[in-house]
């Protein structure tokens, strides 16, 4: 075995050691930064430094797809092959790049110059086909040369933001990241100051009356969550911002983090005050290196301006924020798996109850909210609850961000009041289906969602109307498919996504996501077997009914919705004849 110089690692580990196991992911990221990958001696040194059993360090490394056990090339490329990017041509692009990399590696015998990997949705759907080169985003990658992407330092794609209202996105799409100074000049942090001038209960009440519900997909009332955390017994409480945005088709949180990071920080600070937390975490998915960099700068600015720290605004409120990076695991968007990840473990979801409000991060009362949810909070306090409730519908108040991608004329992030129709969003704002084609279907809610048909075009985008139409709002993803798309291919990609991202803890999902992808592959290949229709249903219902967490419970959602809409695509000729 090669001898590794462990001195640079030991220098870094010294800083992490006092934190112990919770610093495992940060330490692994730092080590990989130094050595390019995580060989055995490096992992052993980290285990010693943080006092974590060897086998458990290995278990963590091998769980997360962005940690490498084996050496990788100097350039690491992640190509997204999920629906939006696949429709924009990522498969032929991947093939071309792979050939290019093979020829490069063939010339260079000493070390691999580049490693290329198929990646789950990278949250760059409005720039499809997209990829990451050493973590940096490349949009419309099929139009770029190798030199442009790898050898120069390409400018990251500008965010594409529009909408019929611009409240959450007022500071987005300007072509730059808003600094603290610019944010304050636009009225930023006045809500924080206002909140701290009153009692925490007043903030909880305002958020409760505002009708704000979680924007990450579960739509749980934010104020109720905060109240539960505030009232839970315990002196150490936490707030967590869930920025593990990884639902295929979703990129709203990325845009908010890249363009207006302080609005999220302000929301988290107010949440902390409301629930009585002195420490907050922002957990950002590993693939979002650029948003991580933006958020890190913002936290530093806030700290220097004493918006974080002790006795904030002269009050007795103390609060600080730590940013954590994930390492390639969709499951860590599930709140309890996210806690496990911050604690330095494999991202296995926990059994609920108990719920995070009483037993969350490190077993303490925790309020965990999505990025967009938190961005609503300063808005509510600034506008006042009454004004805020005038936006949207009675049952779904407020603004909502929708991520439009796929066969759309102008893909991007759109802000509209709840209650806007799908037709208005797609045709009036986003320019309709790509030119020369017409609407076949749209996937609402991402991989965990369901397909809409043209009969749904006039549905109002609100929780109540979508529920009545049998469509999920989810995190606000709408991926559009025109008449040329083979929906079996879309289902196959979603099935692969779940099989790759299942953590493997509970049997229905561990086994069901694998069996599901095998059957859909068979259907795609024209090799459908008698009984496959029933098999898919049994797998689907078993995952939905019996899985431990939300991932497994929704892993068959899109497939079963497609089977309902287009049975002929999934049935064997014999079954169709019946």
Partner 1 sequence: MSDTINLIIDGKQISVPPGTTILAAAREAGIEIPTICFHEATTSNALCRICVVEVEGSRVLVPSCVAHVSEGMKVQTQSERVTRSRRTILEMLESTVDLSDAPEIQTMIVAYKADADRFPQAKSRASAPIDDNPMYLRDYAKCILCWRCVQVCAEDAQYTYAINFSSRGYDTQISTFYEVPMPESTCVFCGQCVAVCPTGALKPKRQWLLELGRTPDEIMDLTRSERRNRRRRVDVPSNDQV
What DSSP letter does each residue of 51-69 carry, written as one string?
T--HHHHHHHHHHSTTS-S
**Interface map 304-343 toward partner 1 (x if CB under 8 A):** -------------------------x--------------
Cα gap 15→25, rounded to integer Å: 14
Where does 233-359 have alpha helices with state H?
252-259, 261-275, 289-304, 335-342
The residue ranges of DSSP E strands in 113-237, in sequence order, are 114-119, 131-133, 136-138, 161-163
Picking from 79, 66, 179, the residue whose alpha carbon sits closest to that of residue 124 is: 79
**Residue 554 CB, nearest approach to partner 1 (Å):** 11
Q: Out of 28, 46, 50, 57, name the contact with partner 1 by CB under 8 A.
A: 57
**Residue 209 in the binding site for partner 1 (CB under 8 A):** no
Bridge partners of 150, per DSSP, are none
- The piece of 99-107, 176-184, 193-201, 540-548 that touches partner 1 (CB under 8 A) is 540-548
**Residue 542 CB, nearest approach to partner 1 (Å):** 4
Indicate the SS3 state at residue 416.
Answer: strand
Q: Out of 10, 15, 33, 69, name the contact with partner 1 by CB under 8 A.
A: 69
* Residues in contact with 363: Cβ distance below 8 Å, sequence separation at least 6, in sequence order: none
**Residue 104 CB, nearest approach to partner 1 (Å):** 29
**Residue 22 CB, nearest approach to partner 1 (Å):** 17
Please say which residue, 279 or 359, places its beta carbon nearer to partner 1: 359
For residue 73, how many C-alpha atoms fall within 13 Å in the half-sphere facing its CB?
21
41-47 long-range CB contacts below 8 Å, 24 or more apart?
41/1, 41/4, 41/6, 42/4, 42/6, 42/9, 45/6, 45/9, 45/10, 45/13, 46/9, 46/13
Q: Which H or E element spans position 401?
A: strand 399-406
Burial class, 149, CB count within 10 angstroms (exposed 0-12 / middle 13-18 / buried 19+): middle
**Residue 398 CB, nearest approach to partner 1 (Å):** 25
- Give the CA angle between residues 317, 318, 322 to the nearest 5°: 140
**Residue 511 CB, nearest approach to partner 1 (Å):** 4
Cα gap 286→505, rounded to integer Å: 21
Please say which residue, 158 or 518, places its beta carbon nearer to partner 1: 518
**Residue 49 CB, nearest approach to partner 1 (Å):** 15
Q: What is the DSSP letter of 288?
A: -
Q: Supply 328's token pair.
A: 């390639």
For the chain, helix (H) and strand (E) counts, in that order, are 26, 14
Q: What is the DSSP letter of 198?
A: S
Q: What is the DSSP letter of 178?
A: P
Cα gap 248→406, rounded to integer Å: 11
How many residues of this chain interact with partner 1, rule: CB under 8 A? 46
Q: Out of 224, 289, 297, 546, name the contact with partner 1 by CB under 8 A.
A: 546
**Residue 544 in the binding site for partner 1 (CB under 8 A):** yes
**Interface map 86-115 toward partner 1 (x if CB under 8 A):** ------------------------------
Q: Out of 16, 146, 541, 566, name the contact with partner 1 by CB under 8 A.
A: 541
* Strand 399-406 relative to strand 366-370, pairing: unpaired
**Residue 53 in the binding site for partner 1 (CB under 8 A):** yes
Q: Out of 78, 127, 252, 346, name the contact with partner 1 by CB under 8 A.
A: 346
Please say which residue, 273 or 497, places its beta carbon nearer to partner 1: 497
- The piece of 39-47, 155-163, 292-300, 334-342 that touches partner 1 (CB under 8 A) is 39-47
**Residue 91 CB, nearest approach to partner 1 (Å):** 23
Q: Are 358 and 228 in contact (CB under 8 A)?
A: yes
Please say which residue, 390 or 522, places its beta carbon nearer to partner 1: 522
* Strand 450-452 relative to strand 412-417, pairing: unpaired
Q: Out of 15, 59, 384, 567, name the contact with partner 1 by CB under 8 A.
A: 59
**Residue 545 in the binding site for partner 1 (CB under 8 A):** yes
**Residue 245 CB, nearest approach to partner 1 (Å):** 20
Q: Out of 54, 185, 305, 468, name the contact with partner 1 by CB under 8 A.
A: 54
**Residue 549 CB, nearest approach to partner 1 (Å):** 10
Q: Out of 499, 523, 556, 558, name the contact with partner 1 by CB under 8 A.
A: 499
**Residue 208 CB, nearest approach to partner 1 (Å):** 24
Q: Supply 500's token pair.
A: 């790759």
Q: Which H or E element spans position 84?
A: helix 83-87
Q: Are 83 and 406 in contact (CB under 8 A)?
A: yes
**Residue 63 in the binding site for partner 1 (CB under 8 A):** yes
Please say which residue, 490 or 499, places its beta carbon nearer to partner 1: 499
**Residue 117 in the binding site for partner 1 (CB under 8 A):** no
Q: Supply 236's token pair.
A: 């150490």
Bridge partners of 325, per DSSP, are 284
* Strand 161-163 relative to strand 412-417, pairing: parallel
Cα gap 516→519, rounded to integer Å: 5
6-42 burial, b if ≥16 CB within 10 A, otherwise e?
A: beebeebbeebeeeebbbbbbbbbbbbeebbbbbebb
**Interface map 140-169 toward partner 1 (x if CB under 8 A):** ------------------------------
Please say which residue, 252 or 345, places its beta carbon nearer to partner 1: 345
* Residues in contact with 186: Cβ distance below 8 Å, sequence separation at least 6, in sequence order: 170, 171, 178
**Residue 267 CB, nearest approach to partner 1 (Å):** 29
Region 500-539 residues binding partner 1, contact defined as CB under 8 A: 500-508, 510-515, 518, 522, 529, 535, 538-539
Q: Out of 4, 12, 48, 56, name the contact with partner 1 by CB under 8 A.
A: 56
**Residue 279 in the binding site for partner 1 (CB under 8 A):** no
Indicate the SS3 state at residue 278.
Answer: coil
**Residue 572 in the binding site for partner 1 (CB under 8 A):** no
**Residue 358 in the binding site for partner 1 (CB under 8 A):** no
**Residue 68 CB, nearest approach to partner 1 (Å):** 13
Binding site for partner 1 (CB under 8 A): 40, 43-44, 53-59, 62-63, 69, 329, 346, 351, 499-508, 510-515, 518, 522, 529, 535, 538-539, 541-542, 544-548, 553
């Amino acid at each position: 075995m090669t001898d590794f110089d462990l001195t640079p690692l030991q220098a870094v580990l010294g800083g992490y050691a006092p934190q112990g196991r919770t610093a495992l992911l940060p330490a692994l990221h730092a080590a990989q930064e130094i050595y390019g990958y995580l060989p055995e001696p490096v992992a052993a040194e980290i285990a010693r430094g943080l006092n974590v059993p060897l086998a458990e360090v290995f278990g963590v490394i091998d769980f997360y797809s962005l940690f490498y056990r084996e050496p990788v090339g100097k350039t690491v490329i992640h190509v997204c092959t999920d629906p939006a990017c696949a429709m924009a041509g990522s498969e032929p692009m991947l093939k071309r790049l792979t050939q290019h990399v093979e020829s490069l590696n063939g010339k260079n015998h000493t070390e691999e110059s580049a490693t290329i990997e198929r990646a789950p949705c990278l949250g760059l759907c409005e720039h499809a086909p997209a990829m990451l080169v050493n973590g940096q985003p490349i949009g419309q990658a099929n139009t770029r040369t190798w030199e442009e992407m790898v050898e120069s330092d390409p400018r990251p794609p500008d965010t594409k933001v529009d909408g019929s209202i611009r409240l959450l996105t007022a500071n987005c799409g300007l072509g730059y990241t808003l600094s603290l100074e610019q944010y304050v000049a636009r009225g930023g942090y006045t809500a924080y100051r206002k909140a701290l001038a009153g009692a925490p209960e007043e903030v909880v009440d305002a958020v409760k009356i505002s009708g704000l519900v979680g924007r990450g997909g579960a739509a749980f009332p934010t104020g109720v969550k905060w109240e539960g955390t505030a009232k839970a017994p315990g002196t150490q409480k936490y707030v967590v911002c869930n920025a593990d945005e990884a639902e295929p088709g979703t990129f709203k949180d990325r845009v908010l983090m890249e363009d207006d990071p302080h609005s999220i920080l302000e929301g988290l600070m107010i949440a902390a005050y409301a629930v009585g937390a002195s420490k907050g975490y922002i957990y950002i998915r590993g693939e979002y290196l650029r948003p991580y960099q933006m958020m890190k700068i913002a936290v530093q600015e806030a700290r220097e301006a004493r918006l974080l720290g002790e006795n904030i605004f002269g009050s007795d409120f103390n609060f600080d924020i730590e940013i954590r990076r994930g390492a390639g695991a969709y499951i860590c968007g599930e709140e309890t798996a996210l806690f496990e990840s911050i604690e330095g473990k494999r991202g296995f979801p926990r059994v609920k109850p108990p719920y995070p409000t009483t037993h969350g991060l490190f077993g303490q009362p925790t309020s965990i909210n999505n990025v967009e949810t938190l961005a609503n909070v300063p808005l509510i306090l600034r506008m006042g609850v009454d004004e805020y409730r005038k936006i949207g519908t009675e049952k779904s108040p407020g603004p909502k961000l929708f991520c439009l991608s796929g066969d759309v004329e102008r893909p991007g992030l759109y802000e509209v009041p709840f209650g806007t129709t799908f037709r208005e969003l797609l045709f009036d704002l986003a320019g309709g289906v790509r030119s020369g084609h017409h609407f076949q279907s749209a996937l609402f809610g991402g991989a965990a969602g369901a397909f809409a048909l043209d009969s749904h075009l006039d549905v109002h985008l609100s929780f109540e109307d979508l529920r009545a139409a049998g469509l999920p709002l989810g995190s606000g993803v709408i991926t559009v498919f025109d008449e040329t798309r083979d929906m079996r291919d879309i289902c196959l990609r979603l099935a692969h996504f779940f099989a790759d991202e299942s953590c493997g803890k509970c049997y229905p999902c561990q086994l069901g996501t694998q069996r599901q992808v095998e059957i859909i592959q068979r259907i795609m290949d024209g090799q459908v077997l008698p009984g496959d229709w029933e098999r898919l249903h049994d797998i689907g219902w078993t995952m939905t009914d019996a899985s431990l967490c939300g991932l497994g419970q929704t892993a068959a959602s899109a497939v079963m919705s497609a089977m309902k809409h287009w049975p002929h695509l999934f049935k064997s000729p014999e079954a169709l004849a019946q």
